[in-house]
């Protein structure tokens, strides 16, 4: 019988690409998600019965243990950009990640890939970056041979970066940016998925790998690149950090006042803190070359999914 991999968050932005690659490699794939009825599309990635979404809440030991039962490998892709209800950064990115690693070790699973992020730092002001670091530590504690992947900002047809700003262009003559000079090294989602799959299939040496694309550009330059691709002109306005914090506070309070019914998908105070640091691969870090992968450029991918935002799209 073919081997089984459990992918937590296997129907999400990055997870679905890993799921597809593992299915193509002949593995059975168990996709552990909170809403399996919304993840039924992953079944089409393999033959009948090869890919199955199941319910799992990573805040619960019994739920995670059931998802890991009988698995040969585990991949954790669960992460959040904003907090909502019980899904806090601590619960999901710190405690949830450690729970998966701890129970995987108890199950006797020897192969684990954990999706983190560049900027993970226990001393970071951003709770996102801080809890990413705590999650890494928890994973390493229970699964010292785990592969930890730290991608820069990820782009692809379902991304929440280029798609989001391109959508703003349709209704706004101005694109306001906080910390417009922050540097990023955008990486294509399927390149990240290929690295994760390679780590499982080839049992790559454990440790941290930082993943970035071939180009480094500022926040402002990335928005300029997006505008070129969609053939539109807009004023890109760099806001002072103080102004950004005021805006983010207002959006956060709106979410709090609505008891979470109105989600802050615009800008949070934590995101302002996260943008205080450049998001690029460290010079001495292991990266794509360790997996024999040459990352794709933005120019080869962006037009393929941003064309719909063009005036004639």
Domain regions of the chain by residue span: 4-158+184-215+279-295
Q: How many whole angstroms from its chain centre is CA 280?
A: 15
Taken in order 98, 187, 180, 302, is the CA torsion positive or negative?
A: negative
Is residue 190 within 8 Å of residue 157, measured between CB atoms? no
What does the DSSP assignment read for 219-267? HHHHHHHHHHHTT---EEEEEPHHHHHHHHHHHHHHHHHTTTSS---S-
Q: What is the pLDDT along the chain (313 residues), one digit of tens a residue?
A: 699 999 999 999 999 999 999 999 999 999 999 999 999 999 999 999 999 999 999 999 999 999 999 999 999 999 999 898 899 999 999 999 999 999 999 999 999 999 999 999 999 999 999 999 999 999 999 999 999 999 999 999 999 999 999 999 999 999 999 999 999 999 999 999 999 999 999 878 999 999 999 999 999 999 999 999 999 999 999 999 999 999 999 989 988 888 878 888 889 999 999 999 999 999 999 999 999 999 999 999 999 999 999 998 8
C-alpha–C-alpha distance, residues 116 and 113, integer Å: 10
Task: Domain 4-158+184-215+279-295: state its class.
Answer: alpha beta
pLDDT at 202: 87
H/E run at residue 51: strand 51-55
C-alpha–C-alpha distance, residues 61 and 107, integer Å: 12
């Amino acid at each position: 019988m073919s081997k089984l991999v459990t992918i937590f968050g296997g129907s999400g932005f990055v997870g679905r690409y890993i799921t597809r690659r593992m299915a193509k490699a002949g593995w059975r794939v168990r996709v552990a998600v909170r809403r399996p009825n919304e993840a039924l599309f992953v079944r089409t990635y393999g033959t009948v019965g090869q890919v199955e979404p199941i319910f799992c809440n990573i805040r619960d030991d019994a739920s995670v243990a059931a998802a890991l039962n009988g698995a040969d490998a585990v991949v954790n892709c669960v992460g959040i950009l904003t907090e909502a209800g019980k899904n806090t950064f601590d619960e999901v990115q710190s405690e949830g990640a450690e729970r998966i690693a701890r129970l995987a070790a108890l199950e006797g699973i020897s192969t684990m890939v954990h999706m983190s992020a560049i900027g993970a730092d226990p001393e970071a002001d951003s709770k996102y970056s801080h809890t990413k670091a705590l999650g890494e530590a928890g994973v390493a504690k229970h699964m010292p041979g785990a592969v930890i992947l730290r991608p820069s900002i990820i782009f692809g047809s379902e991304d929440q970066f280029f798609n989001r700003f391109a959508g703003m262009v349709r209704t706004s003559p101005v694109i306001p940016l906080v910390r417009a000079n922050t540097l990023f090294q955008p990486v294509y989602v399927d390149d990240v998925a290929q690295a994760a799959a390679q780590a499982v299939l080839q049992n790559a040496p454990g440790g941290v790998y930082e993943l970035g694309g071939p180009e480094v550009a500022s926040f402002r330059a990335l928005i300029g690149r997006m505008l070129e691709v969609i053939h539109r002109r807009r004023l890109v306005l760099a806001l002072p950090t103080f102004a950004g914090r005021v805006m983010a506070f207002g959006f956060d309070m709106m979410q709090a006042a609505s008891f979470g019914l109105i989600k802050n998908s615009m800008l949070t105070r934590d995101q302002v803190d996260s943008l205080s640091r450049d998001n690029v691969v460290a010079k001495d870090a292991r990266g794509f070359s360790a997996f024999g992968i040459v990352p794709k450029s933005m120019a080869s991918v962006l037009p393929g999914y941003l064309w719909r935002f063009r005036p004639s799209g």
